[in-house]
Amino acid sequence: MNLQAIDIEEVARASELWQKIIDASEDGWVWHTWIAHKFNLEAGTEYGACDLSFFVYDGEQAIGVVPLIVEERAGCLQAACYPGFLPWPCFAGREGREDFEDFAFTELERRARSAGAQGILFYLTPPRMTAKDESRARCVALHYGYEAFSVDSHLATIDKEWRSRVRDRYRRYVKKFSPLFSVSIVEGDAVTPEFEEQYFRLHVADAGKQVRSRESYARLADFARKGEGFYVVATHKESCAIAGALLVMLYKGVALDASVGIDPAFALHYVGHILRMRTLEELEDRGVPLYQLPLRPRADDVSSAKERGISHFKEGWTGGGYRTLWGIRKKLS
């Protein structure tokens, strides 16, 4: 093998090549896509995000891509992207993957150190859990001096029994309040600039502040525009106001609960419950078997009361189902 690293900006039609590799990789999931990469860069604008990503070539052939963003977090430069992690390097095909990963992790650490980063954090996020996820993370951690760790994420299995696993009172809330709203799916060409602006304003109103750059919302909308997700939108029938919207990312047959905004004026109408129920119904109609809702605190977790409350809400849709994600992290001297 003749492996070499080539900067993203040095490659013609880089976005197409990037996506081709991700599509062909068994590890590649929605956080690896080109759209996600552009979103992460925009979301990291306020942190001075710098793109150090590179392709891995074997001779004249591109065989892998390594997302690598360095930004300032908590007063120091970190090799991490929004929301605080980097997706694992991806390679098309299985043959020789260990050799490719060895090259990739050597090069990415060299680049991170050269940029002055003081820490690195990666998550292995394949579309579905595999029996080898833990061993892969632990092997890389052992070889390069990282710490291996794991976190859990809520996971709903969408089969014939999924409704019975939804918390009883959630079903009652939806039955009581859904007649007040019309719920629609917005995707493709329906994600207009006007809708993008509506969602931006809705999200800001829900959060009580603008949490990231305006342009990041445009990149977020690209998931639904370009076939890697859709919005579920609840509109109040009487006022015709958008009461809430939920973006679901969808790639390789697995959905991710990505971003939600609820108009505070409708906070007591259980709009979030209505959106999730419609999401599950839509995923069932599309034949999507898995719906991930991050993140799930463990018994010894030090999450805030708010975070535990959000997790409890998500658990009500999954019947206690979850998946384990493995990651590696390291402080750089």
Q: Are residues 121 and 184 in the same domain?
A: no
- Are 202 and 257 found together in one domain? yes
Q: Quick one: which H or E segment has residue 214?
A: helix 214-225
Cα–Cα distance measured from residue 48 to residue 44, given in angstroms and rounded to the nearest whole number: 6
Question: Is 39 within a domain?
Answer: yes
Kindly state whether residues 100 and 191 are assigned to the same domain.
no
Buried b (16+ CB within 10 A) or exposed e, 188-217: eeebeeebbebbbebbeebeeeeebeeebb
Closest CA to 262 of 206, 309, 198: 206
pLDDT attached to residue 95 = 66
Angle between helices 14-24 and 34-43 (to 10 degrees): 120
Task: Say yes or no: 74 and 178 in one domain.
Answer: no
Give the Å distances, CA to CA, from 11 to 15, 16, 18: 9, 10, 10
Q: Which of 95, 127, 159 is the last residue of a domain?
A: 127
**Residue 294 placed within a domain:** no
User: Rounded CA gap, 327 and 141, in Å?
Assistant: 9
CATH code of the domain covering residue 203: 3.40.630.30
- Per-residue pLDDT at 296: 79
The Cα diameter of the chain in Å comes to 65
Q: Which residues face 148 on adjacent strands? A: 328
Of 64, 96, 127, the position where a domain reaches its end is 127
Is there a single domain that holds both residue 123 and residue 237?
Answer: no
End residue of a domain, out of 249, 271, 293: 271
Two tokens at 315?
A: 């658990």
Assigned domain for 25 exists: yes
Q: Which of the 8 DSSP states describes residue 89?
A: P
Tally of domains within the chain: 2
Dist CA 259 CA 275 (whole Å): 12
Query: Do residue 15 and residue 117 come from a single domain?
Result: yes
Q: Is 239 exposed, middle or buried (0-12, 13-18, 19+ CB in 10 A)?
A: exposed
Identify whether residues 8 and 123 lie together within a single domain: yes
Q: Are residues 179 and 108 in the same domain?
A: no
Sign of CA dihedral 146, 118, 308, 273: negative
Residue at 62 is within a domain: yes
Same domain flag for 121 and 181:
no
Q: Round to whole Å and give the CA distance between 124 and 137.
A: 7
| Triad 156, 289, 308: Cα angle to 5° | 15
Phi, psi of 261, deg, nearest 5: -135, 130
The pairs formed by 164-168 with CB atoms below 8 angstroms and a separation of 24 or more are 164/319, 165/317, 165/318, 165/319, 165/321, 166/277, 166/280, 166/316, 166/317, 166/319, 167/316, 167/317
User: From the first residue on, what is the mean pLDDT of each consecutive set of 10 residues in the chain (333 residues)?
Assistant: 93 96 95 96 91 95 95 80 87 77 94 93 94 94 95 96 97 98 98 98 96 95 97 98 98 96 96 98 98 82 82 94 95 86
41 φ, ψ (degrees, to nearest 5): -65, -45
Q: Please tell me the distance from the alpha carbon of residue 313 to that of residue 317, in angstroms, as a whole number.
A: 7
The string of pLDDT tens digits covering residues 13-48 is 999 999 999 999 999 999 999 999 999 999 999 889
In a domain, 184, yes or no: yes
Judge whether 156 lies within some domain. Answer: no
| Residue 295: predicted pLDDT | 81
Q: Give the other-Cβ count within 10 Å of 134's Cβ.
A: 15
Residues 10 and 123 in one domain: yes
For residues 117 and 179, state if they share a domain.
no
**Does some domain include residue 208?**
yes
pLDDT recorded at residue 297: 76
Same domain? For 100 and 177 the reply is: no
Helix 305-318 / helix 271-286 crossing angle, nearest 10 deg:
40
Q: Is residue 285 part of a domain?
A: no
Which domain range does residue 85 map to?
A: 3-127
